[in-house]
Amino acid sequence: MEIRTEVEIAAPIDRVWDVLTDFSRYGDWNPFMNSVEGALEEGERLRVVLTTADGSEWTVRPRLLRVVQNAELRWQTRMFFRGLFDGEHYFTLAEKNGGTLLVQAETFTGLLLGAMSRTVTERARGFVGMNQALKKRVEG
């Protein structure tokens, strides 16, 4: 199962990338991922605190799979062990209409996929909120 969201931002890719990858400032603007800690290097493990619409928090420890400056950021989260409930989250950036098209998506797999449908729905809402907040932050 995949959820995919996108937003057009009236700013150059490098500006969007700079805000997207400045994890230390997420608490200033990001309503969904209000805390991200860790080095922006492939293979590194991050600590991400997600906040759902009802205000509850969920901490995940994804491993960075791909970091391509001004183009792609991708990580993978696993619940306990591979194949139980896995998510591969990614951001891609591309030039569009003199600005940037940001795609934020996540592909979910695993034995608990059906049982985790509420989690997937919450993530989709969170992506939309984060996209709009990123747009406002970059364009503001």
Domains in the chain, number: 1
Cα of 22 vs its chain's centroid, Å: 13
CA-closest candidate to residue 60, choices 126, 2, 137: 126
Residue 96 tokens read as: 């569009």
Q: pTM for the whole thing?
A: 0.89
How much is the pLDDT for 55?
85
Range of the structural domain that residue 29 is part of: 2-139
pLDDT digits (tens, 9 = 90+) for 9-47: 999 999 999 999 999 999 999 999 999 999 999 999 999
How much is the pLDDT for 107?
86
Specify the CATH number for the domain of residue 31.
Answer: 3.30.530.20
pLDDT digits (tens, 9 = 90+) for 120-135: 677 788 999 999 999 9
State residue 61 phi and psi, 5-degree precision. -125, 70
What confidence tier does 110 reach under pLDDT thresholds 50, 70, 90? confident
